[in-house]
Structures are given as C-alpha cells and as structure tokens.
Amino acid sequence: MTVRRILMISSLWPPVVLGGAESYASALAEQLRARGGEVGVLTFGVGGADVVSTVSPWPYRLEAYASKGAASRSAFHLLDVYRPAAPRAIHEAIDAFRPDVVHTHAVSGLSSAALAIRDRTGIGHVHTIHDYWLLCQRSSLLKRNGDACDTRCLSCRAISTIRNKIIDRHPPDVVLAVSEAVAVEHRSIAWIRDRVRVVHNPVVRTSRNSRTGNGVVFGYLGRLIRDKGVGASNRIELLGWLDNTARGHFYERIDALVVPSEWKDPAPLVVNEARARNIPVIGASIGGIPELIAPSSRPFLFRPGDRKELSERLLSFANAPVGTSADADDGLLDWDEHLKLVMDAYETACGIAQKRT
C-alpha cells in the first residue's frame, strides 16, 4: 500500500529539544512532507504547528526533569511506567488525523502506553529506538552519579519488566534501531527480537572551506556533563549554545572532532555532522560511535574514560594530522537512501496491520 499519512509520537518536539531524537524526528517529518507525505505529531505537552494532540505533562514536562528533586523524579518515573491519559490522547489523535502508520520515537513521560497502542485497525506501527528507555529508567544505562551500569540495578530491571510486559500485548509491528550497538542491547527483549532492523541516521553532505591558521584545533560539541567525558583545561574556548549557523562556523574552525562519551552513546548526530564535512573523528570505542565513524578514523578510537589513551590519540593526530580519504562515504546513508528504508518499514508494518483486520 502507499503510505501518505504518518502520525509521529515524540515526547518533545522543536523548538523544545533535549537531544538528537526529537531533532531527527522533526527532520524526518520535513523530508516526508517534501515528498508528498502528511505528518501529524502527538507530544508530551509541547505545542506547535505540527502538533495535532498532546498528553497533559503532569507533574511537569520532560525538559524540567533534570532540575527536580528525588521525590519529584520518583513521581515522574512511576507515571512513566503507565500513564492513563496517554491511550485516550493517542486514540483521539488517530481518530482525528486518520494515519496510515504511527511512528513512535523517544516517549519518556508518555509511558509504555505510547508503544502499546490498542485498537489500531489496519494502521501500522513503527518504533525507532533512540536510547535505552526500554531497559533503564534514566534511558542511559548510567547510575545516578554518572557511572556506567555494569549490571542493571533492581529498580531498572523491575520497571523494564513491567513496561515490556505491557508493550508485549500490543507491540509495534517493526522496530528500527539507530545503530547495531543499540539493537544488540535490546535483542534480549522478547517483543523486539524478531522485529528489529538497524537503520543508521542519514548524513547530509556539506562542503566546507579549508581551515587556515596555525596549530591543530580539536572541537567538542555537546552537553558539558560527566557521561559525555568532558574535561577542563585553560586551553579550551567555551562557545556556549550554538544554533545551526553557529554550528557551521564551529566546524569550519576545527581539524578534528572529539567524541569522548563514557556512556553507550547510541548514535551521536555530531559524528554524522563531522563526516558530512569530511572532518576526522577521535572517538571513544563505546555505543554506536565505532560503527558510525569513517574507517580512516578508527585508529583514533580510545577506551572510554581512559585519559591516557585519549591524550595519546590527540598527540598522534596533532603530530600528523589526518585528512579525509576515499573511505569517507563508506556506509553512509543520504536522506533518499534513509527514507527508502523507513518507507519499507512503514509498508511492512501496514501489511502486518492489514492482516490483523
């Protein structure tokens, strides 16, 4: 069948953005519209031109979570197992928008109800895994102090078990993972195992001028938090928040991008942005980073959290800067290629849904 009408479900939506998931979902919506599709959006209390319905964000919206105390966070986590208001809002959105397919993204706050959509007769459901919300109450596989979880804690295992039992009753028809690393982490979940496909985020080729100036400049783009592996130095210039134009200027100024994540970063968009501009990446060998960087950058991978190895890689690059090579496009998807895979997932999901009728 031809899929034209897509209802996207995402906790946040631009201009309210915390990470790459909502930025990607919004960009996907733009690409679908450019090719004749119609897109409506359901969010967790975020309005906008695209939004056809919202779920009331009690006790607060997702972007306020980091500023709350322990008791308030516990209340949020409790409702994030199952939020009774979510099913009603979702079915109202389906009745009003009449989509061919529902595409869910990062749904923290909307709860497992956002993935266990009942009574969607003939409507396919595709879910993209952007993080570890199905496995961890913090979506990160990190402890409260920022340390990596060698084994999942009891509370996360309990919440994950309940969430996935709820979803298993009415699971998505097709699951997309943003990296093989993310897919591997989630294949232990029964309802995901036979439904998951890896679809990397697209890369939009962007030309850049050759940098001029003395010395080698390393760049970091991301939040200044522990799990991103960020250190301090008097030789670091802090630029603050960068909009799209400023990001372009940032990339013009650097010789290599450093991605020192200490958590299992699923598929950092900055790696794609660097590859799009033929900028080498010095990255931690964790999460989706090793599979997303260009092959010529792999010698610069280092063990996450290992300052000595990172220093060695930076020094090695500074002594002999590596430019781009013929492998720069290996494994990359542009938007046309990416959309073919997404549309195939939509059509598969709709085919499965038709058989349920």
Q: Which residue ranges form the domains of the chain, and what is each CATH number? A: 5-202+334-356 (3.40.50.2000), 218-329 (3.40.50.2000)
Structure tokens at 142: 């990190």
Residue 237's pLDDT is what?
84
**pLDDT averaged over the chain?**
91
The pLDDT of 183-197, averaged and rounded, is: 96
Q: What is the pTM of this model?
A: 0.92
The pLDDT of 143-171, averaged and rounded, is: 88
Strand residue runs (E) in the chain:
5-9, 38-43, 51-54, 101-104, 124-129, 174-177, 196-198, 218-219, 256-259, 281-283
Which residue, among 216, 226, 298, 207, has the nearest Cα to 253 in the 3D structure?
Answer: 216
- pLDDT reading at 255 higher than 90: yes
Least confidently predicted of 1-5, 11-15, 110-114: 1-5
The residue with tokens 């479900």 is 9
Torsion of CA 265, 269, 271, 272, to 10 degrees: 140
Distance CA 242, CA 247 (A): 6
Q: What is the pLDDT of residues 116-133, one digit of tens each?
A: 998 888 999 999 999 999
Looking at per-residue confidence, does 224 or 68 come out higher?
A: 68
Termini Cα distance of the chain = 15
Looking at per-residue confidence, does 2 or 300 come out higher?
A: 300
Residue 230's pLDDT is what?
76
- pLDDT reading at 328 higher than 70: no
Evaluate whether 290 touches 248 at the Cβ level (below 8 Å): no
Strand residue runs (E) in 205-346:
218-219, 256-259, 281-283
Share of the chain above pLDDT 70, in %: 95
Looking at per-residue confidence, does 192 or 155 come out higher?
A: 192
* DSSP code for 54: E
The pLDDT of 199-228, averaged and rounded, is: 82
